[in-house]
Chain A
Amino acid sequence: GENVEQHPSTLSVQEGDSAVIKCTYSDSASNYFPWYKQELGKGPQLIIDIRSNVGEKKDQRIAVTLNKTAKHFSLHITETQPEDSAVYFCAASGGYGGSQGNLIFGKGTKLSVKP
């Protein structure tokens, strides 16, 4: 089945700096890659997603890139703000083995933005 690796597990940046979180996946058939932000005690919040027919997608300060050949995708946050502090999860779905719609998550990255 699908396996998603996420790095780093923790990331600390100064306010205004950029943050990059990287994920790799194992199932070449996976074709949908969302990113979720989870604040303490809350449910995961979808912040951006990308499908396998697209290489890059941007929404204001956040962007995601996908390299299908390398089975690698990344989240980029620019001009970070303290309210960006949270745990970020990457996920993949659409691969073989029954994971048609359900998400396989990475282990998460705890992002801390220092004022």
Chain B
Amino acid sequence: AAGVIQSPRHLIKEKRETATLKCYPIPRHDTVYWYQQGPGQDPQFLISFYEKMQSDKGSIPDRFSAQQFSDYHSELNMSSLELGDSALYFCASSLGPMNTEAFFGQGTRLTVV
């Protein structure tokens, strides 16, 4: 079965640079979530989209923005990168935004140097 696809898998950026992470949800899934996971930490919710509209917002810095496109894929844009942004970034998708099974991608490991 098709899973959530994230790209790139690894990304190295310098401080103050920008980065764009992409997420392709499971076919027919209309809801996308972004999570950030630091080393040894639990995933922290950043932002979610349902039917191309932002549905919820968590601890996402103002330097980050995201959107969901007409084909339901989503992009997380990160600007003015800081060392503390180094983490695993996961995208998850579900069918509907209300308490349905959410399936995670393999993540993008972002390293800011």
Complex CA distance for A7 and B98, rounded to whole angstroms: 27
Known pairs A89-B42, A107-B42; A102 contacts B58 (CB<8 A): yes
Q: B interface, how many residues as a size bin?
A: 20 to 34
When the two chains form the complex, which single residue of B41, B48, B101 contacts A49, counting CB atoms closer than 8 Å?
B101
When the two chains form the complex, which single residue of A89, A100, A106 contacts B56, counting CB atoms closer than 8 Å?
A100
Q: Which residue of A lies closest to B104 (CB)?
A: A43
Complex CA distance for A18 and B45, rounded to whole angstroms: 31
Decide if the interface of chain A is mainly helix, strand, loop or mixed. loop
Say whether A46 contacts B101, CB under 8 Å: yes
Q: Which residues of B contact A32 (CB under 8 A)?
A: 99
Q: What's the tally of chain A residues with a CB closer than 8 Å to chain B?
A: 25
Complex CA distance for A7 and B17, rounded to whole angstroms: 39
Q: Which residues of B contact A106 (CB under 8 A)?
A: 42
When the two chains form the complex, which single residue of A42, A44, A45 contacts B43, counting CB atoms closer than 8 Å?
A44
Q: Which of A16-74 contact B (CB under 8 A)?
A: 31-32, 34, 36, 42-46, 49, 51
How far in angstroms is the closest Cβ of chain B from A45? 7
Q: Which of B45, B50, B90, B105 counts the most A-chain CB atoms under 10 A from its CB? A: B45
Q: Which residues of B contact A46 (CB under 8 A)?
A: 101-104
Q: Does A93 contact B (CB under 8 A)?
A: yes
Q: Does A104 contact B (CB under 8 A)?
A: yes
Complex CA distance for A101 and B107, rounded to whole angstroms: 20
Q: Does B94 contact A (CB under 8 A)?
A: yes
Say whether B48 contacts A105, CB under 8 Å: no
Say whether A105 contacts B42, CB under 8 Å: yes
When the two chains form the complex, which single residue of A43, A89, A93 contacts B99, counting CB atoms closer than 8 Å?
A93
Say whether B103 contacts A101, CB under 8 Å: no
Say whether B104 contacts A101, CB under 8 Å: no
Query: Scoring A residues 91 to 110 as 1 if CB is less than 8 Å from chain B, else 0, what string do you get?
Result: 00110001111111111100
Q: Which of B42, B96, B101, B105 counts the most A-chain CB atoms under 10 A from its CB? A: B42
Q: Which residues of A contact B107 (CB under 8 A)?
A: 42-43
Q: Which residues of A contact B102 (CB under 8 A)?
A: 34, 46, 101, 103
Binding site for B on A (CB under 8 A): 31-32, 34, 36, 42-46, 49, 51, 89, 93-94, 98-108
